[in-house]
Amino acid sequence: MTVSVTGATGFIGRRLVQRLRADNHSIRVLTRSKSKAEQIFPAKDFPGIVIAEEPEWGKCVQGSTAVVNLAGLPISTRWSPEVKKEIKDSRIRPTSKVVELINNSSAEARPTVLVSATAVGYYGTSETGVFDENSPSGKDYLSEVCREWEGTALKANKDVRVALIRIGVVLGKDGGALAMMVPFFQMFAGGPLGSGQQWFSWIHVDDLVNLIYEALTNPSYQGVINGTAPNPVRLGEMCQQLGSVLSRPSWLPVPDFALKALLGEGATVVLEGQKVLPVRAKELGFEFKYKYVKDALRAIMQ
């Protein structure tokens, strides 16, 4: 395959590029910063990789067999009105751009697959509900962002297979939620955030990359697929398991008001969660390597 990837320089994208390269696929990195991408993917380690800034994205998409769309500003920051606008725009803009480029490519040179990220935030938050791919969308800001993000990807031409991966909290070594949590635990200052009762629908980054890879290559992967492990946990349990794997206590709870003071409205991302099940992935026969959070954490922290 020849795969164009937006957000390739990020936490998930870097792992996906490694995976695609290991299987000898051609990769085209669609980035905002060629110099940053060249540092992440130096030519000596990634021979043949094509790196392109936006005016050149068209040439890359034209002739690719597939596109993976992962671009987006991280949401775990303090949400000012400007940041909220950028959280949405940074997802809609690149999605809209790649869809336009796919649709404008000549029919023979058009990618036949678009795998586009979205998030479990689509469902809103709940301490009691259980969500699968057929559950309705929530009513909060992040659900609105996800609806628009997904709707934009679905504007791809009808002859393009679109898979929307509703991603949960991704666990891996070099980024994501653990990069923020682990330092506190290592300083003996880790503990649950807020009540600890909020659901934490996680996925190991290797499983997510395998799911994206399957979606690229298997024609049965179409429409919405939750990218979460089969056994979500409450955040309190996740912190206990993390403490146990790191041989550190999980004793210092961070109260709601402190997080709200730090992150403003953005605190909802950590104070509220949702229990999401990967029903479609299971129906499709996807094999999760990491089904339990303790195994995932052990593998990551080894």
Stretch 147-176 residues interacting with ligand NDP (CB under 6 A): 167, 169-170, 175-176
Please give, one letter per residue, the 3-state secondary structure of 102-163. Answer: HHHCCHHHCCCEEEEEEEHHHHCCCCCCEECCCCCCCCCHHHHHHHHHHHHHCCCCCCCEEE
Q: What is the DSSP letter of 19?
A: H
The residue to which tokens 């919405």 are assigned: 224
Spatial contact of 69 and 118, defined as CB atoms under 8 Å apart: no
Q: Which of 73, 130, 179, 189 binds ligand NDP (CB under 6 A)?
A: 73
Tokens coding 220:
């049965």
Residue 7's region, left for phi above 0, alpha for psi from -120 to 50, else beta, is left
Rounded to a whole number of angstroms, the minimum distance from the CB of residue 8 to ligand NDP is 6
Exposed e or buried b per residue across 43-57, where buried means at least 16 C-beta atoms within 10 angstroms of its C-beta: eeebeebbbbeeeeb
| Residue 205 beta carbon to ligand NDP: minimum distance, rounded to whole angstroms | 8
Q: Which of 88, 273, 297, 94 is nearest to 204 (CA)?
A: 297
- In the stretch 4-43, what mask flags binding to ligand NDP with x, by CB under 6 A? ---x-xxxxx-----------------xxx--xx------
* Backbone dihedral angles phi then psi of residue 17, each to the nearest 5 degrees: -60, -45
Structure tokens belonging to residue 132: 């699968």
Burial class for 2, CB neighbours closer than 10 Å (0-12, 13-18, 19+): middle
Options 20-28, 64-72, 228-236, 239-247: segment touching ligand NDP (CB under 6 A) = 64-72
- Cβ proximity to ligand NDP: between 6 and 250 the closer is 6
Residue number with CB closer to ligand NDP (188 or 276): 276
> Mask: binding to ligand NDP, 99-138, rule CB under 6 A, as x and -?
------------------x-x-------------------
Asked if 74 is part of the footprint of ligand NDP (rule: CB under 6 A), the reply reads yes
CB closer to ligand NDP out of 117 and 182: 117
Size of the site for ligand NDP (CB under 6 A): 28
Give the residue closest to ligand NDP by C-beta.
Answer: 10
| Shortest Å, Cβ 158 to ligand NDP | 25
- Please report, as ranges, the residues that interact with ligand NDP according to CB under 6 A: 7, 9-13, 31-33, 36-37, 70-74, 86, 90-91, 94, 117, 119, 167, 169-170, 175-177
